[in-house]
Structure 1
Amino acid sequence: MALTDIKTLAQELSKEYNAPNPDLAKCGQYLSKLKIALIELQYLTHEGKHNNIEELTLARDVLEIGAQWSVRTKDIPSFERYMAQLQTYYNDYSELPTSPLKYNLIGLNLLCLLSQNRISDFHTALETIESQELLNNPAIQHPIKLEQSLMEGSYNRVWSSRADVPSKEYLFFIDILMDTIRNEIASCSEKAYSSLPLKDAGTLLFFTNMEDILNFAKERNWKVNPVEQKAYFHSDADERISIPANQIIKQTMFYARDMDRIV
């Protein structure tokens, strides 16, 4: 594909993706064609020597749309691949003008690692970012504060963070985090209580409507009493374990007689 055709296709991708109601399937088709074209020109493999600022910026912009598109289509492996390719443009091409999406995407990547409980990778990624940018950029600060809240067990702050996300793409990974948190809270509740009123369970689990509470209860195999409006938890204590009492008593007496003979 000629470079002029790549530029035209990239413009069509940008126009479609930034439309009020973008056709994500069409964006995916554009991205597939552009990735093949950029690979042919060695802008994704970086085997050739590139010094054309306009063309490098074009390739970077396509990858940035691809990363955002991956989040909106809930494709985490695709997002990780786009971010891996973007690292070269962010770290190795210092001559490129800074992208306005750079720190938003780096923050998204941090949040992606956090949502998968990849804490060591999260801190490794932080070490590659300049300290001044860490302190000042809201997109980077957001996942850092979330990680601190998780370490402190302040799950209400994680939930509240939905209200001030740097971009709507952040909500996807926060929802994954909240699913993990809810299951952790549910496991603790099952051990601490035999039952809970549905309203209280909803408050604990950060649910805002009854349908979500009932769906979650079904996933956890809770027994819901609609009359009492209570959820009853399955307890390990409910499982009767058969203990061969007579056999144990006989063995104990046998050992006691042996001890008498030894003494």
Structure 2
Amino acid sequence: MISPQLVQLQKQLKAGFDAHPCDLKKCSALLVQLKLGLSQAGLLPVLATPDPNMDELIFVRDILEIGAFLSIRSKDMPSFVRYFAQLQTFYTDYDTILPPSPRKDPLLGLNLIRLLTENRIADFHTTLESLRLSSEDATENRFIKHPVNVERWLMEGSYSKVWNAREEAPTAEYKFFVDSLMDTIRNEIATCEEVAYDSLPLKDAATLLFFSNRSELLAYAQQRGWQINLVAETITFATKGEEKVEIPKAKLIFANLAYARELEQIV
């Protein structure tokens, strides 16, 4: 039985979650109270039972889904993983008996793109296949289509399309993961630039690194130790001295002589 106090806390959580801007601190405090109350009532963790109470399941599912979204807004990935793991009971064991949740598809898509940010491509495909989507759902469901497209563009090296995907994100939470992907891509491009060029014009460097304004580029260049010439409008990459490798001459001579003696014995 869900207590009136828990129902009231849930209403406050939903109001805070839907507010613009969202008060993350207040919502986090409400989540702590709700999870504690649900645990005391024996509703968390959720266990698959043959005769579940539908109202209780919907109540708990709603709280866990909001918690998952708030985790992303708070940039707390471990928390998102925990919430999503708890929601698997609802999305698998009780999926056919519970009314559909409007938050399910967005969260499934967010989990897929999370796997991409962690470079877990094999897990991405395994998870996608486990959803058992029809070809129509895979192409028409915008929450699933977005991470599928991002994965394809990553494999193609079409980084500009990944960058543009940020503006095409189905929800604001998707942008956080695309930004994380772009940070990884940007670092890889920067490493290649350091090897391929001695210097670049500021404008070209900003374009290659997908920076929309100069201040972001200058901050990034300073972070990597690049030399900035605002008069010449150029960036000079930090030169890397050639690594000197010490060759153990004595050991090599000894090894060669030993090898030669062994050959003589064989002959």
> Normalising TM by the smaller chain, what interval?
0.7 to 0.9
Work out the CA distance in 1 between the residues paired with 2:146 and 2:246.
54
Q: Secondary structure at the match of 1:146?
A: helix
Could you list the per-position Cα deviations for residues 165-209 of structure 1 after superposition, in whole angstroms to 9, with x for gaps in the alignment? 110010101100000000011111111111111110000011011
Residue 2 of structure 1 deviates from its aligned partner by: 5.4
Select the residue among 188, 213, 219 that pairs with 1:215: 219
Work out the CA distance in 2 between the residues paired with 1:180 and 1:240.
26
Residue 48 of structure 1 deviates from its aligned partner by: 7.2
Could you list the per-position Cα deviations for residues 58-95 of structure 1 after superposition, in whole angstroms to 9, with x for gaps in the alignment? 10010110011011111111111111111111111021
User: After superposition, where does 1:1-263 map in structure 2 within 5 Å?
Assistant: 3-47=3-47, 49=49, 51-93=52-94, 94-132=96-134, 133-236=137-240, 238-239=241-242, 241=244
Residue 240 of structure 1 deviates from its aligned partner by: 6.8
Shift in CA distance, 10/182, structure 1 to aligned 2, threshold 3 Å: same
Q: Is the 8 A contact 1:6 1:37 kept in 2?
A: yes
Gaps of 5+ in 1: none
Opposite residue 84 of structure 1, the aligned amino acid is A
Opposite residue 21 of structure 1, the aligned amino acid is P
Q: TM-score, normalised by structure 1?
A: 0.88
Work out the CA distance in 2 between the residues paired with 1:148 and 1:181.
15
Q: Is the 8 A contact 1:44 1:85 kept in 2?
A: no
Q: Is the 8 A contact 2:109 2:143 kept in 1?
A: yes
Number of paired residues? 250
Percent identical pairs in the alignment equals 46
Work out the CA distance in 1 between the residues paired with 2:114 and 2:44.
22
Work out the CA distance in 2 between the residues paired with 1:48 and 1:3.
22
Q: Is the 8 A contact 1:191 1:235 kept in 2?
A: no
Work out the CA distance in 2 between the residues paired with 1:40 and 1:57.
18
Residue 239 of structure 1 deviates from its aligned partner by: 3.9
**CA-based RMSD:** 2.3
Work out the CA distance in 1 between the residues paired with 2:243 and 2:91.
60
